[in-house]
Structure 1
Amino acid sequence: METDFLKTFTRIAELGSMAEAARDMGLTPAAVAHQIKALEKDLGVTLIARSGRTVVPTAAGYRLLEKARPVLADMNGLRALVQESAMQGELRLGVINSALHTLIPEMLERYCRKYPDVHVHVHADVSPQLLHQLQEDIIDLAVCQHPAFDLPKTLGWSLLREEALIVIAHKSLQREPPLHLLKTQPFIRYDRKLAGGRRADAFLRAHHIEPKASFELDSLLAIALMVDRRLGVSLIPDFRSPLTATLDIAALPLENTGKARAFGVLWKRESPRGMLVQAMVEQAREMAVKYGEAYEYQGHQ
């Protein structure tokens, strides 16, 4: 009896859907159906039955489920035991620049404190390049924007943050309407070669605003520093960084900005560094919760 087939069966029972279990496990529906049929053939009983739009275990399925869960838990414990020494070596992490200024430093601090024998090589690039590097096994995982297309089932994705467009201005201008600032103040443009810059440009066109552009930069942190120096206002994704906390800038919300910029962790489901990758994914999720709660407390959400 295949342990993986038991995992698939228990996940179907938990989700009540073979299609949902397939998506959750990164398998095709056909592969899930094949595993269940093979398990039923091996045991000589029917394990699941349809009940309306869901599937439920049969009486035999419930009996198997009762015994399978502790067996799978024991297997996971054995795997963790023999892989304790696997938490060492090199992990190659690709990140976008704005993540370097927000989640990444503390995330790495926690990760390296927990796994001191892991050497993390951090490489900064734009999201499309990071996706290519992940697919070519140049990096092991990436903190980047979600691609504009559906991901293949070979890749895992976990959302860390969504960032709507905002206007940032010097605090002396924070009582002015944000659209008025875009029309009247010197404008620091976010690089249109980047997805966030193109989204900002589309917003300006939709509102028939032709700003007085003085600069165009690909660094959100640099833009914030220039706004602090009263060199203009800008229209950027709502990135919040400890590095901007002491600046004299104000974040002014906008209405009807369209879809927010989503960035998260992207990784290959099958990797020779799987244990290291999953540990980093879990650390990233913890940091996302922490930062999200902090923003909500500060009234930024």
Structure 2
Amino acid sequence: METSYLDTFVLVVESGSMSEAARRLELTPAAVAHQLKLLEQELGTRLLVRAGRTVVPTEAGHRLVDKATTILLDLRNIKAAINDEAATGELKLGAINTALHSLMPEVLAGFVKVYPEARVDIRSALSVDLYDAVSRGELDAAICLHPPFALPKTMCWEQLCEEPLVVMAPAKWGQRDAHALLRDEPFIRFNRHLGGGKQADAYLRKAGITPHERFELSSLPAIAMLVDRGLGVSLAPDASVPWWRGLRVARLIVADQTYRRRFGIIWPRASVRTRLISALVAQARRAVSKAS
């Protein structure tokens, strides 16, 4: 049996869509459908059925999901156990852009003190892509936002902090009303495809505010620097991190505190690199505690 087909099947079930699974795997939908057809032929049973615009597992498909998850995890651990990289202490780590510019340097500084010979490969991506990479065994852990769905029992999550939305404005406007700033001044939007950007967009719509957009970008440090230059205001997660220092930026807490970004670390429950992952998690806790 081609184990990559099991990976494809599990991803289709998790996403509920062949096209979405194809996007994440960087395949065509036809290639995904072909893999699933071959898997069904080999097992001699139907695994998926259509339910409106989504696909759902059959009774046999549900049974396969549980078995396949265990099989794939065991296989990844076997590969890692016989690979020299596992013995030399290599860790494959993912992080969202905000973490790279804030938490990551402190985490890595502490980690290399514990494992000075370890080699860490770091990949930057969106939270949803990092979650997929961890679940497929491509990454050992990721510092990201909590996915907008319940995590399977095979995954561990530790929340490091919650970040409320703040209005970022030039320091000279620090005493003005937050909503008035969002209505009246040029707006620098945090990319609405990102978790924090989606929350900011939802907040603006709920508050009935249509800002005068000037820029849209995905880097919080860059947004803070633009605000410092007096080029506008922004609504973004309150990332209390080193790159704020020296910037003349006021951070005004918004009234509605229900919009919070859950920031943490995710990793597989079973891994041959558990000792390295545990050390990384401990350093992440320490870095957050030090920053607060």
TM-score (norm 1): 0.67
Structure 1 residue 250 displacement after superposition: 0.7
Aligned-partner Cα distance in 2 for 1:150–1:206: 25
Of stretches 126-135 and 249-258 in structure 1, the one that deviates more from structure 2 is: 249-258
Q: 2:238 corresponds to which residue?
A: 238
RMSD: 1.2
Structure 2 counterpart SS, 1:164: strand
For structure 2, the 5+ residue unaligned runs are 1-85
Aligned to 1:210: 210
Provide the C-alpha distance between the structure 1 equivalents of 2:286 and 2:242, rounded to a whole number of angstroms.
17
Deviation per CA, 1:236-283, whole angstroms, max 9, x where unpaired?
000122112110101111111423101101000111211111111111
**Runs of 4+ in structure 1 over 3 Å off:** none
Paired residue type of 1:175:
Q
Work out the CA distance in 2 between the residues paired with 1:211 and 1:164. 20
Partner Cα separation in structure 2 for residue 195 and residue 245 of structure 1: 24
Q: Is this contact kept in 2: 1:203–1:257, CA < 8 A?
A: no
Tell me which residue corresponds to 1:181: 181
The alignment status of 1:171 with 2:177, answered yes or no, reads no
Q: Which amino acid aligns with 2:147?
A: P
- C-alpha displacement of 1:89: 2.0
Say whether the 8 Å CA contact 2:199–2:259 is kept in structure 1. no
Give the Cα–Cα distance (whole angstroms) in 1 for the partners of residues 142 and 195 of structure 2: 17
Residues of 2 paired with 1:191 and 1:106: CA distance? Answer: 26
Q: Structure 1 residue 224: deviation in Å?
A: 0.5
- Match in the other structure for 1:134: 134
Hey, what does 2:268 align to over in structure 1? Answer: 268
Equivalent positions of 1:28-43 (< 5 A) are none
1:271 match: secondary structure: coil
User: Match for residue 219 of structure 1?
Assistant: 219
CA distance in structure 1 between the aligned counterparts of 2:289 and 2:223, rounded to whole angstroms: 26
With 252-261 and 198-207 compared, the bigger mean Cα shift is at 252-261
Gaps of 5+ in 1: 1-85, 293-301
Query: Using the alignment, how far apart are the partners of 2:291 and 2:115 within structure 1?
Result: 22
Larger Rg: 1
Looking at structure 1, the residues matched to 159 and 286 of structure 2 have their Cα atoms a distance apart, in angstroms, of: 12
In the alignment of these two chains, the number of paired residues is 207
Q: Alpha-carbon deviation of 1:234?
A: 0.1
Contact 2:141 2:268 in 1 (8 A): yes
Alignment of 1:73-88 (within 5 A): 88=88
Q: Say whether the 8 Å CA contact 1:184–1:211 is kept in structure 2.
A: yes
Equivalent residue letter for 2:234: S
User: Once the two structures are superposed, what CA deviation does each residue of 1:160-201 show, in whole Å capped at 9, x if it has no partner?
Assistant: 010010000000110101110000000001111112111111
In structure 1, the residue corresponding to 2:222 is in which secondary structure?
Answer: helix
Matching residue of 2:112 = 112
Q: 1:199 to 1:117 in 2, by over 3 A?
A: same
Contact preservation (8 Å) 2:114, 2:279: no
Deviation at 1:87, TM superposition (A): 7.8
Whole-Å separation in 1 of the counterparts to 2:106 and 2:88: 20
Give yes or no for contact 2:140–2:267 (8 Å, CA) kept in 1: yes
SS at 1:123 equivalent: strand
Please state whether the residue corresponding to 2:111 is helix, strand or coil. Answer: helix
Q: What's the counterpart of residue 291 of structure 1? A: 291
- The aligned residue for residue 254 of structure 2 is 254
Matches within 5 A, 1:90-101: 90-101=90-101
1:91, distance to aligned residue in structure 2 (A): 0.3
CA deviation vs aligned residue, 1:202-249 (integer Å, no higher than 9, x gap): 111111111000000011111001101111000000012211211010
How many Å separate the matches in 2 of 1:110 and 1:87?
21
Cα separation, 2, equivalents of 1:101 and 1:198: 20
The answer (yes or no) to whether the contact 1:168–1:235 under 8 Å persists in 2 is yes
- Residue 192 of structure 1 aligns to a residue in which SS? coil
Tell me the alpha carbon deviations over residues 56-80 of structure 1, each in whole angstroms, 9 at most, x when there is no partner.
xxxxxxxxxxxxxxxxxxxxxxxxx
Structure 2 Cα separation of the partners of residues 106 and 261 of structure 1: 20
